[in-house]
């Protein structure tokens, strides 16, 4: 069944044209003024509303449309309201977007542009609904604090479920910021050791001379400054899980001692003679190329295979289709609450900029950019500038709006064709337009199949 779209416009001819152009993809509900719009909205509960600002009894001013916008969002703040109005003055645009509108189109509306925008609106709205439903079902915790619906991250969740039931050492590989420590904590929380300590140590953050003492502990007087006996991280993890982050930076002499612990289950403190038995499960993580390290002699091969009994990769954010907006909306709600800025949402241009960004810092980068955006934002909508993603638009500097729009359309068409192996029907569906319109768009942009 097609999703429901509410069209609010006092011009019956425009409503009829819109219905004719959109009925193939959406279940159309119509309203002609604010009261009928609110009534239809409560009954049909559409995810997206297409709203004219000039509504009776004051069709020549934007006040009635803006009032309808505010009332719709009071009923359901997650609704995406797209303004399609002939009153396209800058102040009206700013006022509408500032009041929570998702986007603003000036009449006469280009149908292909509208179709693309509506597809994006419904996609984002559905993601938000799914996220809030997951929060309701899992008490704010989709998978031990990790969020994602894409196939790559779901495969990771499956791996965590499987390895959590054993005590085998685990190696987690992945780029910086992909959530390796969260994955390690998820393994711990799902294991029989969950009631015992989870002890994490970043091996690259501790000077080489101190790392051995931090891991194994030391006896009083074993070296200058050792004024008392100290238990190391391994002992502190007794009964629980020891997480060795950035394991690729561990020096060779410490690798030897860790290998002995993994093989025998015993440690010896620095400056001590007693063998201490420790029952701790080891999970390691790195973004380094350990196979290259083994080839160069900086990482022991026997240590690698003892650590990597089970090994899995955390995918980079750019490869997790659909997860960027899902995670961004979850983080946005949290940061907005922390900063007392309720009702913040991501604009359509921001969503597009996020998808096009490469995210070299992955989820950590997304988190940092969103936290800053919430602090710096002045309206109800997070803009690309708020997230410092505006550099992506530099390719269009010096070009007209028509040229910039054609560049974006060309890139989206090419991306859709590549994704679907040049299958026109699938690519057209991806962009939310008909097959004939897709052919027409290819012809206009000079794209050969």
**Beta-carbon count within 10 A of 365 CB:** 16
**How does residue 41 score in pLDDT terms, banded at 50, 70 and 90?**
very high
Same domain, 243 and 294: yes
**How does residue 394 score in pLDDT terms, banded at 50, 70 and 90?**
very low
Structure tokens of 263?
């093989």
The residue out of 80, 112, 140 marking a domain boundary is 140
Same domain, 200 and 225: yes
Average pLDDT, the chain: 87
What is the span of the domain harbouring residue 277?
Answer: 155-314
| Euclidean distance between CA atoms 407 and 413, whole angstroms | 10
Same domain, 60 and 209: no
Same domain, 327 and 381: yes
pLDDT digits (tens, 9 = 90+) for 50-72: 999 989 998 888 899 999 999 99
| Confidence (pLDDT) at 390 | 61
Same domain, 80 and 161: no
Asked whether residue 397 carries a pLDDT value surpassing 80, the answer given is no
Average pLDDT for 218-239: 86
DSSP state of 218: B
pLDDT digits (tens, 9 = 90+) for 271-308: 888 899 999 999 999 998 999 999 999 999 999 999 99
Average pLDDT for 235-255: 95
Whether 346 contacts 384, CB under 8 Å: no
Is residue 146 one of the residues assigned to a domain? no
Which CATH number does the domain housing residue 347 bear? 1.10.8.60
Same domain, 161 and 217: yes
Is residue 37 one of the residues assigned to a domain? yes
Whether 53 contacts 66, CB under 8 Å: yes
| Confidence (pLDDT) at 431 | 80
| Confidence (pLDDT) at 208 | 84
Tokens 């028509």: give the residue: 402
pLDDT digits (tens, 9 = 90+) for 182-200: 999 999 999 999 999 999 9
Average pLDDT for 204-231: 86
Same domain, 1 and 49: yes
Write the CB contacts of 51 (distance below 8 Å, at least 6 apart in sequence).
8, 37, 65, 68, 69, 72, 81, 82, 83, 84, 85, 101
- Is the pTM higher than 0.75? no
For the chain, the domain total comes to 4
Is residue 261 one of the residues assigned to a domain? yes
Average pLDDT for 155-181: 93
Average pLDDT for 250-256: 95
Measure the N-to-C terminal CA separation of the chain; round to a whole number of Å: 31
| Euclidean distance between CA atoms 201 and 220, whole angstroms | 22
Q: Please name the helix (run of DSSP H) or strand (run of DSSP E) that holds residue 49, with its range, or none.
A: strand 48-51
**Beta-carbon count within 10 A of 263 CB:** 10
């Amino acid at each position: 069944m097609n999703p429901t779209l509410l069209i609010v416009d006092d011009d019956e001819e425009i409503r009829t044209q819109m219905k004719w152009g959109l009925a193939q993809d959406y279940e159309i509900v119509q309203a002609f003024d604010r009261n009928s719009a609110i009534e239809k909205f409560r009954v049909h509960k559409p995810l997206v509303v297409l709203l004219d600002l000039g509504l009776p009894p004051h069709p020549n001013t934007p006040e009635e449309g803006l009032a309808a916008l505010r009332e719709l969002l009071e009923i359901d703040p997650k609704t995406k309201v797209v303004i399609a109005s002939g009153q396209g003055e800058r102040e009206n645009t700013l006022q509408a977007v500032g009041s929570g509108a998702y986007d603003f189109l000036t009449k006469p509306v280009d149908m292909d542009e509208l179709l693309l925008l509506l597809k994006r609106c419904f996609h984002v709205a559905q993601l938000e609904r799914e996220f809030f439903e997951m929060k309701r079902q899992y008490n704010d915790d989709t998978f031990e604090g990790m969020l994602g619906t894409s196939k790559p991250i779901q495969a990771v969740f499956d791996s965590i479920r499987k390895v959590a039931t054993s005590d085998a050492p685990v190696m987690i590989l992945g780029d910086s910021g992909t959530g390796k420590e969260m994955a390690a904590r998820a393994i711990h929380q799902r294991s029989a050791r969950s009631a015992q300590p989870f002890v994490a140590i970043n091996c690259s953050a501790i000077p080489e001379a101190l790392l051995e003492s931090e891991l194994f502990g030391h006896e009083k007087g074993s070296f200058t400054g050792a004024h008392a006996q100290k238990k190391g991280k391994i002992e502190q993890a007794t009964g629980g899980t020891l997480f060795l982050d950035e394991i690729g930076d561990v020096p060779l002499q410490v690798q030897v001692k860790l290998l002995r612990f993994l093989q025998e289950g015993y440690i010896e403190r620095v400056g001590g003679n007693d063998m201490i038995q420790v029952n701790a499960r080891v999970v390691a993580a790195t973004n380094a190329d350990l196979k290259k390290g083994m080839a160069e002699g900086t990482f022991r091969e026997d240590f690698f295979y003892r650590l990597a009994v089970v090994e899995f990769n955390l995918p980079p954010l750019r490869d997790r289709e659909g997860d960027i907006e899902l995670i961004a909306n979850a983080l946005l709600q949290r940061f907005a609450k922390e900063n007392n800025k309720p009702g913040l949402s991501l604009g359509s241009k921001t969503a597009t900029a996020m998808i096009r960004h490469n995210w070299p810092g992955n989820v950590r980068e997304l988190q940092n950019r969103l936290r800053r955006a919430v602090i710096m934002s002045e309206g109800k909508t997070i803009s690309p500038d708020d997230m410092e993603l505006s550099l992506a638009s530099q390719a269009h500097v010096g070009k007209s709006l028509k040229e910039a729009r054609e560049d974006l359309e060309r890139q989206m068409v090419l991306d859709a064709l590549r994704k679907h192996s040049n299958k026109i029907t699938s690519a057209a569906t991806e962009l939310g337009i008909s097959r004939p319109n897709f052919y027409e768009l290819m012809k206009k942009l000079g794209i050969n199949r």
